[in-house]
Amino acid sequence: MSGNGDAAAKAEEDSSKMRVIRVGTRKSQLARIQTDTVVAMLKALYPGLQFEIVAMSTIGDKILDTALSKIGEKSLFTKELEHALERNEVDLVVHSLKDLPTVLPPGFTIGAICKRESPYDAVVFHPKFVGKTLETLPEKSVVGTSSLRRAAQLQRKYRHLEFKSIRGNLNTRLRKLDEQQEFSAIILAVAGLQRLGWQNRVGQILHPEECMYAVGQGALGVEVRAKDQDILNLVGVLHDCETLLRCIAERAFLRHLEGGCSVPVAVHTTMKDGQLYLTGGVWSLDGSDSMQETMQAAIHIPVQHEDGPEDDPQLVGITARNIPRGAQLAAENLGISLANLLLSKGAKNILDVARQLNDAH
């Protein structure tokens, strides 16, 4: 937004006493690349500051023999990083936004949501099936995915395929695909493949008609201590207005549905001509039962906006003082309204059954 330069200058002035900003990240190659991207943006804005990257492993990185949806922990990839924030060992943490729960622990907030890359999913094929699509894979081909959301939607559409959990970071999953004969293809996020420079492995991009994406997919979130004004000012200039509003709507939808990684919930958002469009859906585990709806809301972003009160509460875990409050509330209300519409049509029953079946297996 237009005030970003001024805000950056003010934040640098406020932060001049902070010689070294410590940035927490997971240890995986993708997490390091994502963190380096955010640090590079901050260095460009604040050439007078130094940044130190602190890498650590999370529960989700350590438990690799269990499907994510079975571990039963909402903050699989964030808890250890938040402990470091709490203990003042780091000043900010870079996450894939889709890994951040819609309700953060007390004392934390998302201080920036960077411009979103592609939110879509991609199919990466085993070398012997390069040139194929999901539709043309042989009967009973096994497709790997760690996501109930992807499996439910794709099972519904491609009934001749079998879907099986595959864990590990992107490097590990690609190695399993290439070196073992178990999987004919795996499903991964386009953004992750692009960040790692592996665009050439994308065999098919799944558009929303085939597979809607996860809440926040493709965007990076910067988590900070909620009361650390210096750091909030420092990172707040990274907020991308359109990405922020889309993700507020998506996170509000998921939070109001009480969804998580143990149930298949997916979204698709666009902004056009001052309107924010949100499509959201829920599925049974096998995809046989599903429900989806689309709603829209007018989003007014004035050229200049009045400063709100300094103690503005967070919206779905996000603090964004440099984005008009009214626009943020309209996005949140859109997410809540769409969730209520689906709930009124019986979505809770689909999600409850999915949760029970997932827990039972």
Mean pLDDT, consecutive 10-residue stretches, the chain (361 aa), reads 58 58 92 96 96 80 44 56 91 93 93 98 97 97 94 95 90 93 96 95 96 98 96 96 98 88 89 97 93 96 57 83 94 98 94 83 65
For tokens 């592609």, what's the residue?
118
For residue 166, give the amino acid letter.
I
- The answer to whether the beta carbons of residues 261 and 69 sit under 8 Å apart is yes
* DSSP letter string, 189-219: EHHHHHHTT-GGG--EEE-TTT-PBPTTTT-
Q: Which residues are catalytic?
A: 99
pLDDT at 1: 47
Q: What is the pTM of this model?
A: 0.88
**What six digits make up the tokens of 140?**
């009973």
Strand 20-26, strand 50-56: pairing: parallel
Quote the CA–CA distance of 136 and 133 in Å, as a whole number.
Answer: 5
Nearest to 160 by CA among 128, 184, 191, 181: 184
Contact 77, 61 (CB under 8 A): yes
Q: Which domains does the chain have, with CATH numbers?
A: 20-118+215-360 (3.30.160.40), 121-206 (3.40.190.10)
- The DSSP code sequence of 11-51 is HHHHTTT--EEEEEEESSHHHHHHHHHHHHHHHHH-TT-EE
27 token code pair: 């240890």
Q: How far apart are CA 12 and CA 189, in angstroms?
A: 35
Cα dist from 24 to 53, 217, 226, whole Å: 6, 20, 16
Q: Which pLDDT belongs to residue 311?
A: 52
For the CA atoms of 101, 352, 361, 159, what is the dihedral angle to 10 degrees? -100
Helix/strand number for the chain, H first, E second: 12, 13
Beta bridge partners of 23: 53, 92
Q: Classify residue 71 by burial, with Cβ atoms within 10 Å: 0-12, 13-18, 19+.
A: middle
Looking from the CA of 180 toward its CB, the CA atoms found within 13 Å total 14
